[in-house]
Amino acid sequence: MTESEHIIDASERKLFDWKELLFYKELFYFFTWRDIKIKYKQTVLGFMWAILQPLLMMTIFTLFFGKALNIPSQNLPYPVFVFSGLLIWTIFSSGLTNASNSMVNNAQIIKKIYFPRLIIPVSSILGALFDFLMAFILYIGILIYYQQPVSLHAFWCWPVALLVTIVATLGPGSWLAALNVKYRDFRYVIPFLVQVLFFLTPVIYPISMLTHPWLRYLLVVSPMYAAIELFRMPITGIVPQPEFIIISLGSGVLLLLIGLTYFRKTEDLFADFA
Amino acid sequence: MKPILEIQSISKRYRIQHLAGGYLSLRERMVNALKFEKNNMEDFWALKDVSFEVQPGESIGIIGRNGAGKSTLLKILSKITPPTTGRIVSRGRIASLLEVGTGFHPELTGRENIFFNGSLLGMKRKEIDKKFDEIVDFSGTEKFLDTPLKHYSSGMQLRLAFSVAAFLEPEILIIDEVLAVGDAEFQKKCLGKMEDVSKSGRTILFVSHNMAAVREMCQKTILMNKGRCELIGPSTDVIEMYLKNGMVQACYEGERKQDSPYIEKVYSINSSGELGTSFLNEDEIAVCIKTQNTGSVINLSLGLALRDRLGNKLFTTTKKYLAEQGDKLHTVTIPGKLLLSGNYSVDVAIFIPNGSVYDYARECIAIRVDDFESDMAVYSSADIGVINVPCTWT
């Protein structure tokens, strides 16, 4: 970019400046790398926490919901059912939480150096993907332990489910990140929001448990619904209702557009407000 | 040749909350919100219609008082905040050092911090790999490369931070006062490195209060005042102009009073006996006060108070004197090694203890102190207070 002219003014920016993002591509890596490094510094168990956390959650949910309340689990052993859900849900919950706080946490950097701000929330979501990969190894172990057959659809279902999760996380994540810079109130809203969404998404129960059809339509608005159903499809063999998937995907894409637009519109002011 | 940087009438407006009677209560806020009242916001123009051009290879100094808009200008040039109006055309890659060690994390090791910080400053990974040894060498921290940064001394942290920045190779380098920290020896090293950079044909914009450094490094200097670009020209001329203008305000001249003692003049002089407002930490600061008495009261006290930049009084010192008719010169010497880096102001008063005050010159002169030598010098950018007290630690 030596010879090209570059203009700095107050004009509006494009929703996606691919050229610029590409120029700074290494920063995605470095931010993600730093977040992961810092997260496990000075811990004895280190990366093991990425495996232990979902394992403990699975045990608790199995005891309370599987054994005590006898929640149906789409013909799967309840631990397998709940772990597959938790695995993909954790990307969303920790990704969303990290992304929402990311701009405020990196305020010192934002005030002193320019780079595309979007790198910060995106990297914090990529950091959550790392934990997913660790826990995924355990997931394979659990599948083998329960001798759970997996259909070949897994080869496309799992990657697509991951992609859907990232889209579902990035939309609200970037939106909340931008809002959090201006109104710190959101810091307190986020944990509550994540908790509510957890119960509104069929992670620990199947959607078939809800008998009222309108209730189902309400749940599938959650962008995470499609991700979880797709991720479980290879082991349950149950094909989810197409209109449910479409609603869920649509809501994910809509939230992504809203989130990114708001982020890009307010991005310029971050340094003044942070 | 086309200029590498064209700044075309840049202005920057900030909205500041204007509170008439102290704090607004929550109820008042809500009432205001309901009335859609916005009149408690006041516009503040941090920059007003600033234009200049920079030719490739030029080193330009930017000077001015605090609040003149220097930092805002750099922030806009670095794309951290957009201008309200106007535009900038740049024909090269800009890297800015508004702070050394941005993004340094105490939990990461020296090695890890070099990579993260370097990448933030716009270096490619390969570039960092290539220069890694040089960076480490320059910083002199090779022994601690794999130690978390939190175990480094602050001096070491600073050296490491500057070393990463020193190996940046952008076409345009923007530097904000980063050299005002660190021990004298390392500062020299940094200045040397920057001169190398400017000699290698790169363009530098350098904001500083250190006039000697600006004069040495930059052929051209811009003087900013109240958000405007007041003067552009050869460094020596602009700096001289700036110091001369500063000098006028460095000397306070009081109003003549009839039948009363009053303060005629207040000024500060440096160790070589010249008028000056800029001191080093180790310098003694001599404040000269010339009093006049046209009245008949003769048993008076003279007081001097020093304020920090926020206007807090740091201390007061007084002396009783016999004020006979006519003028009298008093010199107050503030000991060296007392004040840390910062801007200070002086109040002078003539009074009778627990009685009437005859004359009071509030914040009549300004003093600037730079600290490169004391133990606290490395913390200059942090909130460490303003007084250097020689405490004993055991």
Structural domains of chain B in order of their starting residue, each with its CATH number: 5-244 (3.40.50.300), 251-379 (2.70.50.60)
In B, minimum Cα distance to A33 occurs at: B116
Alpha-carbon Rg for chain B, nearest whole angstrom, is 25
Q: Which of B79, B109, B127 to mutate to test the interface with A (most CBs of A within 10 A)?
A: B79
Kindly determine whether residue A111 and residue B80, on different chains, have CB atoms separated by under 8 Å.
yes
Given CB atoms, is A22 within the 8 Å cutoff of chain B?
no
DSSP-derived secondary structure letter, A177: H
Measured distance CA(B160)–CA(B384) in Å, rounded: 22
Measured distance CA(B81)–CA(B136) in Å, rounded: 32
Residues of B in contact with A269 (CB under 8 A): 81
Token representation of residue A86: 């938790």
Full strand arrangement of the beta sheet holding B85-90: A6-8, B85-90, B5-17, B41-54
Tell me the shortest Cα–Cα distance from B5 to chain A, in angstroms.
10
* 3-state secondary structure at position B5: strand
Token representation of residue A260: 């990114």
Task: Give me the residue label for tokens 């997260």.
Answer: A39
In B, minimum Cα distance to A269 occurs at: B81
Kindly determine whether residue B88 and residue A9, on different chains, have CB atoms separated by under 8 Å.
yes
Taking only the tens of pLDDT, chain B with its 394 residues reads: 788 899 999 999 887 765 544 455 556 666 666 665 555 667 888 899 999 999 988 889 998 876 788 888 999 998 888 899 998 998 888 888 887 788 899 989 999 999 999 999 888 999 999 999 999 998 888 889 999 999 988 778 888 888 888 888 888 888 887 665 556 666 677 777 777 877 788 888 988 776 767 887 888 999 988 888 888 999 888 887 776 665 445 677 777 787 888 998 898 888 777 777 888 888 889 999 999 988 888 788 999 999 887 678 899 999 998 878 888 899 999 998 899 888 888 889 999 888 788 888 877 888 888 887 888 888 876 778 889 888 889 8
DSSP codes of every residue in B356-391: -EEEEEEEEEEEEEE-SSSTTGGGTTS---SB----
pLDDT tens string B137-194: 988 888 899 999 999 887 788 888 888 888 888 888 888 876 655 566 666 777 777 7
Residues of B in contact with A9 (CB under 8 A): 82-83, 86-88
Task: Please list, residue by residue across B137-161, b when 16 or more beta carbons sit within 10 angstroms of its beta carbon and e when fewer do.
Answer: ebbebeebbeebbeebeeebbbbbb
Q: Which of A29, A31, A34 to mutate to test the interface with B (most CBs of B within 10 A)?
A: A34
CA atoms within 13 A on the CB side of A270: 32
Report how far apart, in Å, the C-alpha atoms of A27 and of each of A21, B45, B104, B124, B333 are. 9, 34, 15, 9, 53
Q: Which residues have C-beta within 8 Å of that of residue B368, sequence separation ≥ 6?
A: B209, B277, B278, B279, B342, B343, B344
pLDDT tens string A1-15: 445 778 888 776 777
Q: Which residues have C-beta within 8 Å of that of residue B67, sequence separation ≥ 6?
A: B226
Q: Which of A22, A43, A114 to mutate to test the interface with B (most CBs of B within 10 A)?
A: A114
Tell me the shortest Cα–Cα distance from A125 to chain B, in angstroms.
18
How is chain B split among helix, strand and coil, in percent rounded to 5? 25, 35, 35
Kindly determine whether residue B81 and residue A272, on different chains, have CB atoms separated by under 8 Å.
yes
Given CB atoms, is B124 within the 8 Å cutoff of chain A?
yes
Closest to A180 in 3D by CA, of A87, A44, A273: A273
Residue type, A36: I
Kindly determine whether residue B103 and residue A4, on different chains, have CB atoms separated by under 8 Å.
no
